[in-house]
Amino acid sequence: MKISSFCLPTFKEVPSDVKLKSHELMVRSGMIRMETSGIYTWLPLGLRVLNKINNIIIKEHQKLNINHILMPTIQSAEIWKKSDRYNSYGAEMLKIKDRHAKDLIYGPTNEEMMTVIGSNVIRSYKNFPISFFHIQSKFRDEIRPRFGVMRAREFIMKDAYSFDLTLEDLKKSYELFYNLYLNIFNKLGLKIIPVKALSGEIGGDLSHEFHVICESGESEIYLDGNSENIDTKKINYDFFEKNYFVSTTDYAEEKKMNTTNYTKLSSIELGHIFAFGDKYTKKLKFIINTPDGNINPLMGSYGIGISRIPAASIEINNDSKGIIWPKEISPFDLIIINLKPNDENCFKFSDELYSKLLSENFDVLYDDRDERVGVKFSDSDLIGIPFQIIIGSNYLSENTIQIKNRKNGKELEIEADNVIEKINSFIDDDK
């Protein structure tokens, strides 16, 4: 993509009420734009990150044959009345009346709808176990939306639902999603910690959240022992045994845990999984006829806050100049910065390099703008693409160009031949 035809509205400053680093950097790099309180547009650079995240999540779910569906955003209030959540959900639920004065809601989550769909499409006990996922906008009418897409009202969530016939199978499904989540967050370049959690509104008694440790995070978790040398690699991710015990502070409080030797840490919650059994299948009358009699299937639900992930990643990976994307979800793999777009030789070299890199299946952003060198460097550092290829006066005088690693500042001056090979080896060195 050439920047000359890419809408990249970078800003030097942001309004003073922007408190969180990731919020500031997402606005300044032209990733998002607030339309009204807690409601955002994803601009081209931001949407590219979102789509990379979506693609990883979809691929990993499909590997496990989890059925991909798309439920609507608007739901009938009726199913929420049947599950007794229409009133209990509280003011965060956006209630709507249609032209015929019928009660609708904007879905904040989909347990009810999924249960009704399950009862319609799962015909026989032979179809179990079966699970579904979808990626869709959700709405929760937060009393005080803040921190950009970190606590938005309209947000994008991946939610999945499992159906089983026995408690043992439900635990297997839960474990499958638990491990899928560790795998997904690893692929997203995030060091995630599974945290014992309360189920809250959704119900059930088996529940984990997935957090990244982050000083500016709004959540709090307890970790047993000393946190000075937390090494996420040492946390045993098997949820049946563990080296550290980690729980939300809410959980510790509710369970009246003795937290004397625990360390309290700030974190960001990115996922939450629940096993709530027959709570919804009973209330919504989903019954399966089995050789052992009629059974209300047992369910679990599994959510990832997709639109919060870019913010969490930035919160952890940034410096004074801007964002530092992990390769996995970077909007582009590399950026070509032509410092002399009006020089015929620099233009020709940059243009050809751009085409070559595209044909090698790199996702390339190409700064072909007629702009000041300072603007090009500061924009490039701000948007945080992992590798910068800089073409300027040294190309003309010495036949050399520069490759730079955004994360550690490592620079390499290379001769301008067999460039692809050298770029590949520079990238490989970073692994």
What ranges make up the beta strands (E) of 197-261?
A: 206-213, 219-224, 246-248
Please list the alpha-helical segments (H only) found in 83-228.
111-121, 167-187
Residue numbers 106-165 binding a copy of itself by CB under 8 A: 106, 113, 116-117, 120-123, 127, 130, 132, 137, 139, 141, 143, 153-154
Residue 76 CB, nearest approach to a copy of itself (Å):
4
The contacts of residue 142 (CB under 8 Å, 6+ apart) are: 38, 92, 151, 152, 153
Residue 55 CB, nearest approach to a copy of itself (Å):
12
Q: How far apart are CA 284 and CA 296, in angstroms?
A: 10
Q: For a copy of itself, which is the closer residue by CB, 194 or 305? A: 305
Q: How far apart are CA 42 and CA 333, in angstroms?
A: 20
Q: How far apart are CA 380 and CA 375, in angstroms?
A: 8
Q: How far apart are CA 27 and CA 88, in angstroms?
A: 35
Residue numbers 70-109 binding a copy of itself by CB under 8 A: 70-76, 78, 91-92, 94, 96, 98-99, 102, 104, 106
Residue 306 CB, nearest approach to a copy of itself (Å):
12
DSSP letter at 5?
G
Q: How far apart are CA 3 and CA 365, in angstroms?
A: 7
Phi, psi at 334, each rounded to 5°: -150, 165
Q: For a copy of itself, which is the closer residue by CB, 207 or 301? A: 301
Residue 233 CB, nearest approach to a copy of itself (Å):
33
The reply to whether 288 sits near a copy of itself by the rule CB under 8 A is no
Q: For a copy of itself, which is the closer residue by CB, 58 or 257? A: 58
Residue numbers 25-64 binding a copy of itself by CB under 8 A: 30, 33, 35-37, 39-44, 47-48, 50
The reply to whether 302 sits near a copy of itself by the rule CB under 8 A is no
Q: How far apart are CA 268 and CA 273, in angstroms?
A: 15
**Which residues of the shown chain bind a copy of itself in the complex (CB under 8 A)?**
1-2, 5-7, 9, 30, 33, 35-37, 39-44, 47-48, 50, 65, 67-76, 78, 91-92, 94, 96, 98-99, 102, 104, 106, 113, 116-117, 120-123, 127, 130, 132, 137, 139, 141, 143, 153-154
